[in-house]
Structure 1
């Protein structure tokens, strides 16, 4: 069960989200608010797993409100303005839903959060294990962390390149899912589209890394963080 909170200054949009939550068996609504600041007490005092958060609101944007939270639940941003999408993903949002929101898109986003939270909890329980399981084409695949070369993001999908496989696995999770799942001492993001296994890197420069025969770009946004990590190894 995922505990969720809804924040939207439009009553009709808030009611629609509540109806969608009530249709989803694994979601439990803890509260709904038209004013973001009214939600702070609940967010600080309760175990909230998922926040549905409108972006454009009168007193404070959803993006600024989310940045201000000390304990940040997973977030799905909702808005009628597509230009806010990039900012939402920079905050590592699980998804971004453009109004008017269909139930199909709503449930797809929620399923992604559910899979992520369950995998995260499983990882915490199994701390110390050197593998995890992931759903690929309706089959659970056992993945050893040491087998991963790098991950390549394609919007809602990720290609996982493995030492043991000729072809990558195509997985219905975005790259942010794996960025949160994997140990950041062992895996580092070097580009909007790439996460690499640090121990698999052969060479690294300001513009690229090589892993086996693959040359992968290092982008300006991730360069400093990348070198800060590898300098600790």
Structure 2
């Protein structure tokens, strides 16, 4: 879901964009304003992903307003004046919509923003090499590369770490960690176990080893596990 703001000094244009936002499933309207400076408080208090910003306005242009922002969300400029398009793209705007705006063009521009932000988020997730998690009322920093395997116990998970004799007992089920560790070279091999591919020493049809420890590979997870192993063997 993308949080968005609409800033346009024309009430009819403001209403049209609000209607377009309401019918676009992945957009959530965080606010709408006829004067840019009125939007500053929302921009300070809420994480805004996307601005729909009119360019020609009485007190300050959309271009100058956007330049003034310390944190710049993605922006789609809207205007009735095509000569402003070059200035908009100089600011690396995601798109430029010429009024009157059709929903088809609006949706095309929004899809571009949504795809761009999703790709960036995935890239950041892959590059990040650690996470923080609450353990006994303290936040622990865990590096992905330190994890040997995870062991599920109903609503809890034991996280076994290299160099640590005792696992961390965490109040999250194994599915939570399965989602968290997606794309991090971890794989579920059993309803009770997730393993790090980097830490595996040997692999057989029914078990894997991490050091001297043997962990079972169950029938339900075997095909997915060996498919992933096959990808890494190429």
Q: What interval of TM-score do these two structures reach, taking the shorter chain for normalisation?
A: 0.5 to 0.7
Superposition deviation, residue 40 in structure 1: 0.4
CA RMSD of aligned residues (A): 1.1
Q: TM-score, normalised by structure 1?
A: 0.55
Matches within 5 A, 1:103-114: 103-114=103-114
The CA distance in 1 between the partners of 2:52 and 2:64, in whole Å, is 14
Aligned to 2:120: 120
How far does the alpha carbon of each residue in 1:63-105 deviate from its partner, in whole angstroms, 9 at most, with x for none? 0000000010000000000000000000000000000000000
Residue 38 (structure 2) pairs with residue 38 (structure 1): yes
Superposition deviation, residue 4 in structure 1: 0.2
The CA distance in 1 between the partners of 2:35 and 2:49, in whole Å, is 20
Matches within 5 A, 1:67-216: 67-127=67-127
Residue 10 (structure 2) pairs with residue 21 (structure 1): no
Paired residue secondary structure (2:78): strand
The CA distance in 2 between the partners of 1:44 and 1:89, in whole Å, is 24
Paired residue secondary structure (2:14): helix
Aligned to 2:154: none
Rg bigger for which structure? 2
Q: Unpaired segments of 5 or more residues in structure 1?
A: 130-233
Q: Unpaired segments of 5 or more residues in structure 2?
A: 130-234
Paired residue secondary structure (2:96): strand
Superposition deviation, residue 128 in structure 1: 7.1
Q: TM-score, normalised by structure 2?
A: 0.54
Q: Paired residues, what number?
A: 129
